[in-house]
Structure formats: C-alpha cells, structure tokens
Structure 1
Amino acid sequence: MRSLVLIGHGSHLNSDSARAVFRYADLLRGAGLFDEVIEGYWKEEPSLRQVLRTTASTDVTVIPMFISEGYFTETVIPRELGLGHQGPVPPEGIARVIGGRTVRYTLPYGVHPAMTDVIVARAREVLPELGADGPADGIETALIVLGHGTTRNENSSRVIHENAARLAGTGLFSEVHALFLDEEPRVNGWPDRVRAPRVVIVPFFASEGWHTLETIPQDLGLTGQVTDFPGNPHGPQQVLYARPVGTHAAIADVIVHLAEEARGTLGPGGDAERGHEAAWQAFLSRARAGTRIGELLITPELGVFEVRHQLDEGRPGGDLMTLVTPEGVRDQVRVTDGGEHRPVHTLRSVPRGWRAVLNEADLRRAVHYAYPAMVEETYAHSCHALRPTPWATTARRQTGIYAKVQRAVPEQVERVATRVCGACLRTRLWAGERLTHSFLDGVPGGMPCAEACTFLVAEVREEVARKKAAAASDD
C-alpha cells in the first residue's frame, strides 16, 4: 500500500486557499497511482499534527505543495510532522519511521526541474506560435519568469534564477529574465531591461490570488492577457500575461516524479496501518446501524448511507440538495450557511439543507472530510493511546510571528479559549478536561482535542498583540 500526503498552507480566513491542493489531490486520486491521496494543512484541518494519523498505509510520502524552499518547508512542516529535521532538505528527501509508518518527506514541488516545462506550457497558452525552436512567426520574444522573492530566505529566489538559466539555454526566447515583486531585480523595471518587441510574463506562483489577479496587473499596467506599450524606452512592446505555473494540470506529473524519486531509494510499499483500520471498522460498525457524529446524522438505506445535518432529520429528501461524492461533502462543509470559511470543522457551524448518498468506501472519505482525523483520534483516545499536548508545550514549539504566544499568561489563554473553544464540539484534553464517552459510544458531540489548534494559537497571538498595544498606548 502507498499513501500520498499533499501539504498546503491553508487559511483561517479564505476557503479558496486550499482549492489548488484539492485539485491536484483529485487528479492524482483519479489516476490510481496511490492507494490514497489525502491533504494536510498548516492553517486548516487535518492539521500537520493530525494528518499522519489519517493515513491508511505504513508507507507515506509527504510532498509540500509550495513553490520554493523556505521557512515552511524547512522549519514548520518538519517540526509539526515530528520529522526531527530542521533546515534545507537534501535532494533525496528525508525518511523517518514515525508511529510505525515510514514517512518520506520531499522537496517542494516547485523546485523540481520539470517545472521548467510547466513554465513553457504556460507561455504557449498565451503564445501558440511558440514552437520547438522558438516563435514560428519569427518575432523576437522575451520571457520573464516572475517570482515573489523575499530578503528573508535566498532559496525563494534561487528556483526562479535556476529556471530562467535553463530556459535561456533552450533558445526558445531571445531573452530570459528572472524578475521579482519584493527583491531585486524588480519586475516594475522591466521596460528598461527587456529589448524584445514581444514579452511573455509567466508568474512562478502556486495559485491564482491577490498578487496574480490584482497587484501584478495593476503595478505593471496590464489590461488583460495582451497589453500594448507603444512608448517604452526600447520601442513599442507587447506583453502577454500567462496564468501562474502552480495551477497547471502538469503539476500532478511533477508530484508523481517527486514521489517516485523519494521511494526509489527506499524499497517497496507498506502494509495497511492496523490502528487506522481498527478505528474505521469501529466507526462503520455503528454507521451500519445508524449513528450520529458531531452535527451529522448517518442512516443506512438499502446498501448505501444517507448523511445529513441532524437538524434536517425528518425533512423529505426532495427538499434537500443531494450530493453523491465525498468531494461534494467536502465542498459543502467548508463554509457555513452564511458563506463563512470553516477552518475548524468541529465548530458547531455545519451548514444545513443537504444530504449525501454514499457507499461504504465513500462514506469513510466523506466523514474524513467532514471531521478530519476525528475517527482516528477518538478511537486512539478510547484505547488510551492519545497523548494530550499541554498548552505550554504547544506554545514553546511556535516560531516566527507566533513565538509571541509564549508570553501569554494562563488567564489570557483561557479567555481566548472560552471564546474560541466554546463553539467547538471537542473536549480540551490539552487543558485537563476529561472525555468519558465519545461518538463511538453513541454521544454525537463526544470528540477529543489533544492539542490546541492553529486557529486558537493565532487568536492567542492576537490577544498578546492587543495587550502589548494597549500597554504602549497607556505609556
């Protein structure tokens, strides 16, 4: 068996942040190259601290869905996964045995040499005349590989320069430039650098977003996919603006390359993870008789299962929107009835008005999407195998902008937790609370919380910042 885990950043605020990771997971799942493809996040669920518990295989490959190496790929993800590694990841990746699973952690997909081909593919979308030897119409064409850049980590720009160098050697373009938003050489100076009458700009970004859709076009004066600049220093120039590389379907092939390269040095796949399977069999035994989990009601019907909000119990099925895939459930429960993002899935805010009709295999995935890691963690708790992590330990582990939560006094933490956790179904084991019965015992809201979530950590950080600002104003 083989499990593939795609790690994204996620967001506490924006439900679209994870969409690119979902898309690639769906593509790879459909290709059937892995027994399962699941996603984990820094800012959403399943969290980095939970995601390995959700894998069904003892052979796990973890790929960071980031465009370059940096703080998250070298510090945050290895730390939160418990890899015992900090700093640059070697080309062959890192392999560790964690909880009976062999976990292989790779470089981020954006640094793979195959990304050069993805850049060319994006360029061809806006310039179909680009053949194997350059533009068929003979017009000199420059390429700008546009990166974000940062002065905090040189690896962020290195991958842009490497791709530009490889492309310069192909002869496809008369000029190739590596330019950046936030470091030199900056992209807003392109008219002085680029001489070719036609210019293709390919953003080396992971997803469509604020930069690619708004700030870049505004700052460069782009009016669409094609923009003419008649008065530039080197004469009239036409700019073709491509979509970001990170949303191209070929990224799925890059991910496969990374996974195969990671496994190639470490032998065959693994076995079914027995604890994981035991947890799901315990849950399914209840589902076959009808059960409730969190805010959801699960009812067996003629070989399939109906899933709906408990508050919709008794409503005719025709009055509800019908979903027939686990991904449909995933998309439905990511936002509230009011359209607000739900980064913590155990908050009492599952939307109403829908039903899902699923077979047993799809039910497992749908419940995983609705309440990530809850089946595995609840079963582990029932077996006395779920170890809580006290707040002090979680706080000490924080780095970067979150390190300031280490200064939060217990009263501050409890004040924030009362507000945040009060709307959550989980019982705070990390704060010393006890959970005696769970949904596996027939109590729908009985769910353990072994460690403060990243949402709570972020709110405690804001509380500390507000207190500091208030103290400064008093002075």
Structure 2
Amino acid sequence: MRSLVLIGHGSHLNPESSAAVYAYADLLRQRGLFDEVVEGYWKEEPSLRQVLKTVRYTDVTVIPMFISEGYFTETVIPRELGLGHQGPVPPQGVARVIGGRTVRYTLPYGVHPRMSEVILARAREAYPAINADDTALIVLGHGTTRNENSSKIVHQNAERLREGGEFAEVHTFFLDQEPKVVGWRQQVKAKNVVLVPFFASEGWHTLETIPEDIGLTGEVTVFESDLEAEPGSQPDYAQTVYYSKPVGTHPAIAEVIIQLAEDAHGASAQGDVERGHQEAWNALLQLASDTLRLGEVIVRPVEGMFELRHALDEGKANEGLRTVVTPEGVGEQVRLDERGEYRPVHTLRSLARGWRAVLCERDLPRALHLLYPAVVEESYAHHHHALRCTPWAATARRQTGIYAKVQKATPQQVESVSNDVCGGCLKTRLWAGEALHQTFFSGVPGGIPCAEACTLLVAEMREEVTGKRGQGAVAAHD
C-alpha cells in the first residue's frame, strides 16, 4: 500500500498555478499504480506542514513538481516536511521515517533525462515545420541568483538538444539571471525561432511576464527588422517566434513521475494503513452516518450515499442546486467564492452556495480533503489532545529567503495582521494562544483548530514588515 504525494508551488493569487499538479494527480489516480495520490503545496492547502498528515498509508513517496533543483527543492520543501535534510538531493533521493511513515523524497521531475524529449515535443507542437537550416530553439528558464542548480538543468537540456542536430541554433535564456531573454535578438540569427518555457505550470510568468518582456502578441509573433539598429546588433530581416506551452504541462510528464517514484530509494518492506489516520476517518464516517455539520457544510446519508451541501442551502430543493457526483466536482465548487474570487485558504467563510454533491463512501474522504484539507486529521488529533501546535515565533524563525524578514515583526504587527487575515477563517488560532475546547467531533461545527500560521499570513506579514502591505506587492513573489 503506497501513497504518492505531488508537491507544487501553488499561489495565493492564481488558481491556475496548481492546475498542472491537479491534472497529473488525476491522471496518476486513473492509472492505478498507487493506492493513493495526494497533492500538497507551498502556497495553497494542504500546506507542506500538513500534507503528510493527510496520507493514508505508511509508505509515502514525495515528488517535488518543480522544473529544476534549487531553493525550493533543496531548502523549503525538506524543511517544511521535516525531512532533516538540506542541500542537494542525491540521485536515489532521501528516505526518512516521520511519524511512523517511511517518506521517500525524490529529485524534482524536471531534472529527469527524458525532459529534453518533452522540450522537443513542445517545440514541434508550436512549429511543426522545424528545419535544421533556418530554425532556432530557445529554452527559457526562470533562473535565480540564490542557487546555481536552478539554471544547470536548463543548460544540460539545451546541450542534449544541440547535439541532436534538429535546430540551426539552440540557446538558453532566463528571466532572473544572465543571459536574460529580453536580449534574445542580439544572439539568435535564425528566421524562425521556437521559444519553449522550461516552467512547471501555466501561470503569471508564462501568461504575462514573458510575453510582456519580449513583446509576444500570441502563439506566433513576427518581429520586423530594425533598420536603425547598429550593424550586427540584430538580424536585418524579420524573425518569427513560435511560443509553446510550458514543458511542465505536457502529458509525458506523467511517465517521468512514475519513473521517479519507482526508482526512489528506501521503500519500506510493506506499506500499511496509518493507524491514527484510519481512526480519524472511521470516526468521521460514523458521524456522517447521521448528520454531520462541518464548517460551512452539512454531510448526511441519502439512500446509501452521502450528500454534501452548504449549510445555508439546507432546506433548498435539489432541483435548485448544481449536482456533482465526483470528488473533483466538489473541488471545482470550492476553489472560487460566489464572486469568482480565488480561495487559497479553504476554511475562509466564503464557500460558494448553490451546489450539492452525492458521493459513495469510498469517495467521501477525497471530497472532504478537497473541501477542507487536513481538517479531519488535525481536528481529530486535537479532540484527543494530540495535536502539536507551532507558536508564531517558531514559524517566523523557520523562514528563509525573502520571508526571513517576518522575524522582525513586532507583537503588535502580528496581532494586527493576523486579526485581519484570520478574521474571516473558521479556524481557532491555537498557535496564537486561543483556546478551543470542542471540535466538530464533539458536535461544534466551527470547532476547527489552527495549529500553525498559514503561508498566506506569513506572506502578508512580510508585506507588513517591509511597508508594502496593501500595495499589491505579494503578487511579485507568488
């Protein structure tokens, strides 16, 4: 019995950021190679601090859904998961026993040798008429000055493709380090140019930043010659750029993920159901066999199935509600509020109304996981006085990179920002010293613990400390 955990970056602002991870998780569930496939995120829920609590089995493989090695895969994810490892991940991965589970952490999928094949596939989709005489390939990475491994894999893939001889030129450019993509015309001479973003998902960079920085107008953009340019600074003829989808959303990535999981080192002899997890869900199903009020929803038995609906829709006729019959259908209802705004924290009091889900017992846990990630596991632990809380000071000390600044937040700033951010949340802030005497396991719908400050609060606290809160600065770092 094995659990597979896919770790994405996620976003507090953009629901599309996690779309690729959700898509691959669904695809791998359909393949049936793992007994369970769970998603976890840095900027969404379940968070990196929660996700291992949500897995059912004791044999867990964690794959970072990142395009390259670097700060997140070597520092942030291992730290937040509690792996006790920092720095480069060896080829065989890292294996640890955490809370009774054998956790195997692999390299990110983007460093797999087959990624050069995916880049080539994306290039051919964008421009089927690739010709080695007049077509250049640009492999575009993000880049960072914080970790040289971030750009290493981009150069390695470019070299493999250069050796393949299918392009007249193969170049590497980056957004945040040299050589930067804004200067591509000074180096690329071919008339036809295929630009492939070496990015994990479709998001802010691929949809906005890259097109804006270099003047792309769509999938195909013609750049006319600049007759006033200095001789030799750029070609004196028009160049056509064919802009592909990011490599991280290609269907072939699923095969790369499977290969990484199968090659991971340190598997336990035989996985089993984790006892505490099983006890929590057995107790939940027992409550749901009558009528369970959890947060803003009601769960009740209906003709051998379970129905979920918003508590404010309790007396509404079924005909007046959208009916969904899969866990993924529930997930689609909860990601946006009724105004169409994104909900990165699912326990915010903004759950949309107007829907009902009818699910079998097997699908109910997955649906509730999408509705309120980690709430069942953490609430059950608190109900039995076994939930460990992390005070704000410990959360702040753990932060690195751009978020290390939150360590400078004063108690007054922490109180003010948390009141603002957390005021609309169903959870009780145990990390801030608030008391929660009963949970929904004792019949209190709003009895949901918050064991640790979420990443949304950490991000907002950083903006407060730097004096940028309310100016839209979070987007730049999301």
Q: Normalization by structure 2: what TM-score?
A: 0.92
C-alpha distance in 2, partners of 1:215/1:80?
Answer: 29
Q: Report the alpha carbon displacement of residue 4 of structure 1 after superposing the two structures with TM.
A: 0.7
Aligned to 1:248: 250
What letter matches 1:156 in structure 2? S
CA contact (8 A) 1:207 1:244 kept: yes
For structure 2, the 5+ residue unaligned runs are: 226-233, 471-478
Residue 223 (structure 1) aligned to one of 213, 217, 222: 217
Q: What whole-Å deviation, never above 9, does each CA across 1:27-58 have from its counterpart, x for those lacking one?
A: 11111111111111111111111100000010
C-alpha distance in 2, partners of 1:187/1:394?
Answer: 37
Deviates more, 1:166-175 or 1:223-232: 223-232
Deviates more, 1:356-365 or 1:203-212: 203-212
Deviates more, 1:414-423 or 1:6-15: 414-423
Deviates more, 1:202-211 or 1:249-258: 202-211
Aligned to 2:359: 358
Distance change (3 Å), C-alpha of 1:12 and 1:227: closer
Aligned to 1:38: 38
Aligned to 1:472: none
Deviates more, 1:208-217 or 1:394-403: 208-217
Aligned to 1:184: 178
CA contact (8 A) 1:139 1:198 kept: no
Q: Does 1:98 align with 2:98?
A: yes
In structure 2, the residue corresponding to 1:466 is in which secondary structure?
coil
CA contact (8 A) 1:192 1:234 kept: no
What is the correspondence of 1:53-452 to structure 2 with a 5 Å cutoff?
53-129=53-129, 135=131, 139-229=133-223, 231=225, 233=235, 235-263=237-265, 266=267, 268-452=269-453
Q: Report the alpha carbon displacement of residue 129 of structure 1 after superposing the two structures with TM.
A: 4.0
For structure 1, the 5+ residue unaligned runs are: 470-475
C-alpha distance in 2, partners of 1:33/1:126?
Answer: 32
C-alpha distance in 1, partners of 2:348/2:208?
Answer: 33
Q: What whole-Å deviation, never above 9, does each CA across 1:375-399 have from its counterpart, x for those lacking one?
A: 1111111222111111211111111
Paired residue total: 462
Distance change (3 Å), C-alpha of 1:272 and 1:160: same
Distance change (3 Å), C-alpha of 1:408 and 1:240: closer
Identity of aligned residues (%): 69
Deviates more, 1:89-98 or 1:205-214: 205-214
Q: What whole-Å deviation, never above 9, does each CA across 1:191-227 have from its counterpart, x for those lacking one?
A: 3323333222111112222332333334334333333
Q: What whole-Å deviation, never above 9, does each CA across 1:346-402 have from its counterpart, x for those lacking one?
A: 121111111111111111111111111111111111222111111211111111222
C-alpha distance in 2, partners of 1:12/1:467?
Answer: 16
C-alpha distance in 2, partners of 1:417/1:196?
Answer: 54
C-alpha distance in 2, partners of 1:303/1:201?
Answer: 53
Q: Normalization by structure 1: what TM-score?
A: 0.92
Deviates more, 1:161-170 or 1:199-208: 199-208
C-alpha distance in 2, partners of 1:228/1:127?
Answer: 14
C-alpha distance in 2, partners of 1:235/1:424?
Answer: 58
In structure 1, the residue corresponding to 2:264 is in which secondary structure?
helix
Distance change (3 Å), C-alpha of 1:376 and 1:215: closer
Q: Report the alpha carbon displacement of residue 110 of structure 1 after superposing the two structures with TM.
A: 1.1
C-alpha distance in 2, partners of 1:230/1:421?
Answer: 52
CA contact (8 A) 2:133 2:168 kept: no
Distance change (3 Å), C-alpha of 1:33 and 1:414: same
Q: Report the alpha carbon displacement of residue 421 of structure 1 after superposing the two structures with TM.
A: 2.4
C-alpha distance in 1, partners of 2:217/2:339?
Answer: 34
In structure 2, the residue corresponding to 1:46 is in which secondary structure?
coil
C-alpha distance in 2, partners of 1:248/1:340?
Answer: 27
C-alpha distance in 1, partners of 2:402/2:342?
Answer: 23
C-alpha distance in 1, partners of 2:310/2:421?
Answer: 22
What letter matches 2:9 in structure 1? H
